[in-house]
Structure 1
Amino acid sequence: MLYSYYKRGLIDILKDLSEISSKSVLSETSLKELQGLSFEQTIHQLLIKNLSAHQKPENLAMLLALESQYLLNKEKFPNFQDFLYIDWKIIRKLIDQYYLFQNIPEKELKSRISDTMFFIDTLIHRYLLFDSPYENDQQFLDFLTQLALSFLTSTKK
């Protein structure tokens, strides 16, 4: 019951993220599909769903950032809700940073895309330093690589 309460906090945050996008990150169907999954499995499923639905890249980047930050800090923040409150400030900064990509010269946009790719690549490498909640690390690395490629191509003007 307590875990469901914490997970509800995650879903509320993801709904906030979806308001930024033209499409919703979560539907009632996907909420039912997420019942009983661990935090890591929930994020992983949302990443897959959003990648296949061609969601805007900022949603994918924020979900990836949320997962990475949790994996890096779960020892420090055993209370899931405390982690979400602290991490939300970081995520808001990343969202603000993404919107700086709009209406800027192509040369600078390419530079910012490069910086974003470095950010995603760093998350991939950091992820591999920790015990994986997934069955196959290489499969998840391949997934994150595809996510990074999708982010790059979706961001180009």
Structure 2
Amino acid sequence: MNDVKLEELQDIFDDRYIKKEDLEKQVNEVASKKYASKQDLLEAIGKIEAMQVEQTRNTEMLNKIYEIVISIQEDQSQQKAKLALLATDVEIAKKVLFRQVWESLPRIVRVFVISISIFLLLIIFSALIGETANQFMQTNGLYVAVATATISYLFSRKE
């Protein structure tokens, strides 16, 4: 993206000053003449020198622009790193706040909260297991009853 902008600036500079193609045509015209006046030669040399000066200025200006772009990119990367660091600090602060609140509670309250949580989890877990067992017995109850009766008959016979 920055390369495109730099190329556009280079095109603007080329339009404002002497284009290389035009200078080359003028120099070739003077060089191809069998006889050239001193004025023609001085004019061509003057244009060449003017172009060199302008190219030097343009190059310096583009180098400064490029340095500014690079420094802006470095600043942006540093700001992104700082922002990421701040985000992690906020997350750590949230976790620390929970720990501070939790540890500030009296021990009896913490034990009560933990025991209530475990009790509720056991109720939910037993309800899930009970529902699954109920469905199993509804579909396979007859087989379970026959297997239980057969096994109990076999064990009672051995005694």
* Smaller-chain TM-score bracket: under 0.3
Instruction: Find the structure with the greater CA-based Rg.
Output: 2
TM-score for both structures, normalised by structure 1: 0.25
Select the structure that is richer in helix: 2
